[in-house]
């Protein structure tokens, strides 16, 4: 499979993405980018100490990121399966904010397949709109590509109408060649507008412009070959508005306008949201506001 999809040169990729950092996004373009990024946030809390109360306050923040009604709601909240029912209760049945649930023995994925599938089924049953699964990295590194792909297909079947996001956990795949290969493995069994996602956020290295680039180039190649559009979600490590804008420039210049929407691109993040809001406020007033002017509901304490 590696031969068929072609290799990736690490030096070349990093040189390419360094150019995104030199794009100068000013004024109207900056405001547009900041609002777009806000609408793409999957507001996330994934901790052992999550409670229904924490999840409810996360949901409130997702619906009303700040006092300004012109600011869009975020795309989704992302929680553990046990918290899905509380999120649904907080958001109500008819809401623009979607509920994403990590499942499949997140973050390691080291549970029997039937356990993982049962978890997916439970989360969907409790009202999850989206399932963030992890791939079997052990199997991938052992060369059992077919097993990896079959498991993704099985989870997809279990999702029903829910959108599937496939977490590659790029830091455990290590090489860009592996990331590209894993992207293709997943995409070939996904439905249009299902996602591939970089990371769980539970390892040292998460989303970078480099692995984002490898994955969106894979999405582009797959789309041009098959006509099936796959969506993308970098997750973990994106904390500032400036970073988010660089990721969006990468999308604009690699996948084009059709991916500049939260149906096709998301940010898995929590602290990013308030920095986006702070920058939007700075564009409006010309001055930076102190962090305590923005409600904290997603941060981990």
Residues near other proteins (CB under 8 A): 1, 4, 6-9, 11-13, 15-16, 22-30, 32-33, 36, 145-146, 149, 184-185, 188-189, 217, 220, 223-228, 248, 252-253, 255-258, 260
Residues linked to residue 269 through DSSP beta bridges, in sequence order: 43
**DSSP category for residue 235:** B
- Which SS3 state, helix, strand or coil, does residue 46 take? coil
Q: CB under 8 Å to 187, separation ≥6 — which residues?
A: 196, 218, 219, 222, 228, 230
In the set 30, 54, 61, 197, the catalytic residue is 197
Is 236:265 a contact under the CB 8 Å cutoff?
no
Based on the residue annotation, tell me whether 61 is a catalytic residue of this protein: no
Nearer to other proteins, 131 or 255 (CB): 255
In the set 126, 132, 194, 275, the catalytic residue is 132
Least separation in angstroms between CB 265 and other proteins: 12
Nearer to other proteins, 202 or 220 (CB): 220
Tokens coding 167 = 């977490």
Least separation in angstroms between CB 81 and other proteins: 29
Least separation in angstroms between CB 168 and other proteins: 16
Based on the residue annotation, tell me whether 30 is a catalytic residue of this protein: no
Within a 13 Å sphere around the CA of 164, how many CA atoms are in the beta-carbon half?
26
Q: CB under 8 Å to 138, separation ≥6 — which residues?
A: 110
In the set 42, 126, 233, 275, the catalytic residue is 233
- CB-count exposure of residue 104 (10 Å: 0-12, 13-18, 19+): buried
Based on the residue annotation, tell me whether 94 is a catalytic residue of this protein: no
Least separation in angstroms between CB 139 and other proteins: 14
Is 23:247 a contact under the CB 8 Å cutoff?
no
Task: Report, as residue numbers or ranges, the catalytic residues.
Answer: 132, 197, 233
């Amino acid at each position: 499979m590696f031969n068929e999809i072609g290799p990736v040169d690490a030096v070349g990729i990093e040189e390419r993405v360094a150019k995104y950092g030199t794009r100068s996004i000013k004024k109207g373009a900056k405001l547009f980018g900041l609002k777009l990024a806000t609408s793409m946030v999957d507001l996330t809390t994934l901790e052992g100490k999550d409670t229904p109360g924490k999840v409810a306050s996360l949901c409130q923040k997702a619906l009303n990121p700040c006092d300004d009604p012109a600011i869009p709601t975020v795309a989704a909240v992302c929680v553990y399966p046990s918290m899905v029912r509380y999120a649904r209760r907080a958001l109500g049945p008819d809401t623009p904010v979607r509920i994403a649930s990590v499942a499949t023995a997140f973050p390691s994925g080291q549970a029997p397949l039937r356990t993982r599938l049962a978890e997916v089924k439970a989360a969907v049953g409790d009202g999850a709109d989206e399932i963030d699964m992890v791939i079997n990295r052990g199997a991938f590194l052992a060369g059992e590509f077919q097993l990896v792909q079959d498991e993704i297909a099985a989870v997809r079947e279990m999702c029903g109408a829910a959108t599937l996001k496939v977490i590659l956990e790029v830091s455990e795949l290590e090489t860009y060649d592996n990331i590209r290969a894993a992207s293709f493995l997943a995409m070939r069994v996904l439905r249009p507008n299902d996602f591939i996602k970089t990371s769980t956020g539970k390892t040292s290295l998460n989303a970078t412009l480099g692995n984002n680039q490898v994955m969106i180039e894979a999405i582009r190649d797959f789309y041009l070959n098959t006509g099936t559009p796959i969506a993308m979600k970098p997750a973990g490590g994106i904390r500032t508005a400036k970073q988010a804008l660089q990721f969006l420039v990468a999308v604009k210049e690699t996948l084009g306008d059709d991916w500049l929407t939260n149906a096709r691109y998301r940010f898995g993040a929590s602290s990013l949201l308030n920095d986006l809001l702070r920058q939007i406020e700075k564009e409006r007033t010309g001055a930076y506001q102190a962090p305590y002017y923005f409600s904290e509901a997603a941060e981990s304490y």
